[in-house]
A and B are shown apart, each in its own frame.
Chain A
Amino acid sequence: GDSVTQMEGPVTLSEEAFLTINCTYTATGYPSLFWYVQYPGEGLQLLLKATKADDKGSNKGFEATYRKETTSFHLEKGSVQVSDSAVYFCALRTLDSNYQLIWGAGTKLIIKP
Chain B
Amino acid sequence: EAQVTQNPRYLITVTGKKLTVTCSQNMNHEYMSWYRQDPGLGLRQIYYSMNVEVTDKGDVPEGYKVSRKEKRNFPLILESPSPNQTSLYFCASNTNNSPLHFGNGTRLTVT
Q: Which A residues are within 8 Å of any B CB, using their own CB?
A: 34, 36, 41-46, 49, 89, 98-101, 103-106
Does the CB pair B56–A43 fall under 8 Å?
no
A34-B99, A99-B31, A103-B43 known; A43-B104 Cβ under 8 A: yes
Q: Give the residue name and chain of the B residue nearest to A4 (CB).
A: B42
Does the CB pair A105–B42 fall under 8 Å?
yes
Q: How far is the CA of A89 from the CA of B41 in the complex (A)?
A: 12
- When the two chains form the complex, which single residue of B41, B100, B105 contacts A101, counting CB atoms closer than 8 Å? B100
Tell me the interface secondary structure of chain B in the complex: strand
Does the CB pair B40–A46 fall under 8 Å?
no
A43-B90, A46-B99 known; A106-B50 Cβ under 8 A: no
Does the CB pair B42–A98 fall under 8 Å?
no
Q: Which B residues are within 8 Å of any A CB, using their own CB?
A: 4, 31, 33, 40-45, 48, 50, 56, 58, 90, 92, 94, 96, 99-100, 102-105
Q: Which residues of B contact A46 (CB under 8 A)?
A: 99-100
Q: Give the residue name and chain of the A residue nearest to B33 (CB).
A: A100
Given contacts A44-B90, A44-B92, A49-B99, 18 further A-B contacts (CB under 8 A): A34-B99, A41-B105, A43-B4, A43-B104, A44-B43, A44-B102, A46-B99, A89-B43, A98-B50, A99-B94, A100-B48, A103-B42, A103-B43, A103-B44, A104-B42, A105-B40, A105-B42, A106-B43
